Amino acid sequence: MGGEQSKPAAEAKLPDLGAERFQKYNFPFENIVMEGGGAKGIAYIGAVKVLEDAGIMKNIKRFAGTSAGAITAGFLAAGMTAQDVLEVMNKTDMPKVLLDGRYWLVKHVGALYDLLNNFGVYRGSSFLDWYGDTLREHFEKKSAESEELKQKYKALTGDINFGQLYEALGVEFCTVAYNTQVKRENYFHVKTSPLLYMREAVRMSMSIPVVFQPYKVEDKETAAHWIDGGVCANFPVYCFDGWWLSMDEGNCFHERLGEKQDRDTVRRAFLPAYSHERFTPGGDDGEKKAKRMKTLGMLLYSEGDPELYQNQFDARVRNFTDQNQELKKDSIKPDTEKRRAYDENSRKMEALEKEKRENLMKSLAMKTKLDEVKKWFPDEDSMRDCFDDRMTKEDVQIITADVDSDLSDEEEYEKARKKAFDSLFINFKGDLTKGTTENIFDNWAPMTMAASDCLKSSFIRTPGELYTTYLDFVGKSKPIREDDVDRCVGIDVDYIGTGDFDMSPEDKTFLMMQGAIATVAFLEEFIKKNGLKPEK
C-alpha cells in the first residue's frame, strides 16, 4: 500500500482479427439490422470492428435494430465507430443508467408505487438523457475535427430527429416499438416519423414491459403508450426489403395509401395477417434475392437460449475456428465470476438431468413387464396378480414417484403396490383401462426422452432470472426464415444473459471477440458461397 499507486481499472478491448484482407472484395451490403438482446448486445461492437476493417461499414446507409439492437444501430447511424461505442460503454455505469440510479428506499418503495401507478418499475429518464447526451457529445466532437465536418454536423445539435439525421448524413435509421393504443408495431424511420427524436425512438424500443414504464411522446391521458419492440419484432431483418421504408418516389405513402388506392388495399397494409406484404421485395426471383442481400443481419444466441438454425451458425464458426485453434470458444472464455456461476449452474443441471434420464430409462425398462400385465385385460384380478408377480420394489417406487420410501414392511409394500397399479390401470371413474400405460410409453416417455436430448435446462433462482426467460421467449417473435441464414451473422454469447449489464471488462472482451469471430466466419463463407473474386 504505502506509496503504491492504485492500478487503473481494466477496460474491455476491441478484437483485431486482421479483417483488412476482406477489403479486396465487393460485398453487396448497404443495410445493417441488429436483434434485441439486452446486455448481450455488447457483442455487436466486435462485429462492427470487423466490418470497419473489411471496408464494409463505409457502404452502410441504413441502420435498424430493436431494443439493445436499436441502441447500437442508432450510435452507428450517427457515425460512431466501434471504438467510439466501446469508449462510451467503458465509461458508463449501465445498471445505474438503466435503473435510474434508484437506491434502497426509492428502489423498494418508489418502484412499487411506479409499478402500480405508472405501469413499470423504472422510468427510463436516465437512459433518455444518457442517450441524447452521448449523441450530442459525438456530434460536437466530430464538428471540431475539421471545417468540412463542422459544416456537415453543424445542424446536429441538441435533440436530433430522424429527418435531421437523414438530411445531414444521408443515412436512414429504423427502430421498432409496440403501440398499445392501436395494438400494432411501428417502424420509426425518416419516412414514417421524420420529426421523432432519435433518443425517444430508442427509449420506446427498449421499454421492456413491467421493468420500464411505457414511453409517451406527449404528456396526455389519450397519448399512446409505447413498449419494447421485442414483444412483436425483436429482429426486423426484413424491414428494408419491401416498399414500406423505401425512399423511392414511387413508394411514397401518398401513392401507396392515398386517394388513388381502395380501402381494402390500404387496410391490408396494417392488418397483421397481411402486414408482411409491406416488407416483401418486388421483381423476379433474382431481383428479390439481390434486394434482400443488401441487408446484413446480426442476431444473438446461446446453448441455453437456442436460435432457429443455430446448427448452421455453429457450423460456420466451427469451419473457421478449426483453422484457427486459438480462437475456439473454450480457448478464449475468461475465468470470471459470471462464467464460474454459469458453469456451476450447468454442472448442477447436468447432474439433475442425468438423474432424471436414468429414472426415465428405468421406467422404460418396465414396458415389457407392463405389456404382460395388459395381456390379461379386462380381467382385473389376473392383471393385479401378474403386476404383483412381475414388478419389483424399485419398480413400485418409480411408479409412485417415491424412490426414498422404505417398503420393508409388507403391509406398506402392499399399499404401495396397489397405489402403483391403480395409477396405471384405473381411471378417474374407477374403471379398468389400458389407455394410461399406452399413452405413457407411446407418447410421454418418448417425448420426454427427445426433449432431454434437445433442450438445455437452467436454474431459476431470482425473480430477475425468471423475467429474463420471459424476455428471451418474446424476443423470438417473428423468427428468421431459412433463406435469412445466408445474410445473417449469428453470434454465440455463451454464458452471458440478457440482464447481465454488470459484467466485467473480461466478459465484455469475450463477447466482442465472439462477435468478431462470427463476422469473419460469415464473410469467409459468403465469399465462397457467392463466388466473390478479389478486385484489382
pLDDT reading at 32 higher than 80: yes
pLDDT reading at 2 higher than 50: no
pLDDT reading at 5 higher than 50: no
pLDDT of residue 100: 64
The structure's pTM equals 0.85
What is the spatial distance between Cα 395 and Cα 328, in angstroms, rounded to a whole number?
A: 45
What is the spatial distance between Cα 254 and Cα 259, in angstroms, rounded to a whole number?
A: 8
pLDDT reading at 493 higher than 80: yes
CA angle (525, 51, 28) in 5-degree steps: 60
C-beta contacts of 147-153 below 8 A and 24+ residues apart: none
Q: What residues contact 370, with CB distance under 8 A and at least 6 apart?
A: 424, 437, 441
pLDDT (tens digit per residue) in 390-419: 999 888 988 888 767 778 888 889 999 999
pLDDT (tens digit per residue) in 303-342: 877 778 999 999 999 999 999 999 999 999 999 999 998 8
Kind and range of the H or E run holding 400: none
CB atoms within 10 A of CB 33: 25
pLDDT of residue 262: 82
142 — pLDDT class (breaks 50, 70, 90): confident
- Compute the average pLDDT of residues 467-480: 68
Tell me: cis bond preceding 209? Omega within 30 of 0 counts.
no
Assess contact for 51 and 519: CB atoms under 8 A: yes
CB atoms within 10 A of CB 16: 13
Cell of 521: 466466419
- Compute the average pLDDT of residues 59-81: 96
pLDDT of residue 112: 56
pLDDT of residue 218: 67
pLDDT of residue 4: 41
Write the CA distances from 125 to 111, 204, 213, integer angstroms.
Answer: 14, 11, 10
Assess contact for 32 and 63: CB atoms under 8 A: yes
pLDDT reading at 14 higher than 50: yes
pLDDT of residue 317: 97
Highest mean pLDDT (candidates 390-394, 463-467, 527-531): 527-531
pLDDT of residue 126: 85
Average pLDDT of the residues of the chain: 86
Cell of 421: 397399479
Region of 430 (left: φ > 0; alpha: ψ -120 to 50; beta: rest) is left
What phi and psi values does residue 345 have, to the nearest 5 degrees? Answer: -60, -40
Cell of 374: 395388459
> What percent of the chain is modeled with pLDDT above 90?
53
- Compute the average pLDDT of residues 368-376: 93
Active-site positions read 67, 228
Residue located via cell numbers 421493468: 211
Cell of 332: 478464449
Pick the residue with more confidence: 120 or 528? Answer: 528
> What percent of the chain is modeled with pLDDT above 70?
87
pLDDT of residue 410: 87
Q: What residues contact 280, with CB distance under 8 A and at least 6 apart?
A: 241, 242
pLDDT (tens digit per residue) in 378-391: 999 999 999 999 99
pLDDT (tens digit per residue) in 203-242: 988 877 667 777 777 666 666 777 777 778 889 999 999 9
- For residue 249, give the 3-state DSSP assignment: helix
pLDDT of residue 327: 95
CA angle (442, 448, 452) in 5-degree steps: 145
What is the spatial distance between Cα 188 and Cα 167, in angstroms, rounded to a whole number?
A: 16
What is the spatial distance between Cα 198 and Cα 428, in angstroms, rounded to a whole number?
A: 61
DSSP 174-233: EEEEEETTTTEEEEE-TTT-TTSBHHHHHHHHT--TEEEPPB-SS--TTSPPEEEGGGT-
pLDDT of residue 42: 96
What is the spatial distance between Cα 523 and Cα 105, in angstroms, rounded to a whole number?
A: 51
Sign of the torsion formed by the C-alpha atoms of 376, 377, 382 and 386: positive
121 — pLDDT class (breaks 50, 70, 90): low
pLDDT reading at 286 higher than 50: yes
Kind and range of the H or E run holding 260: none
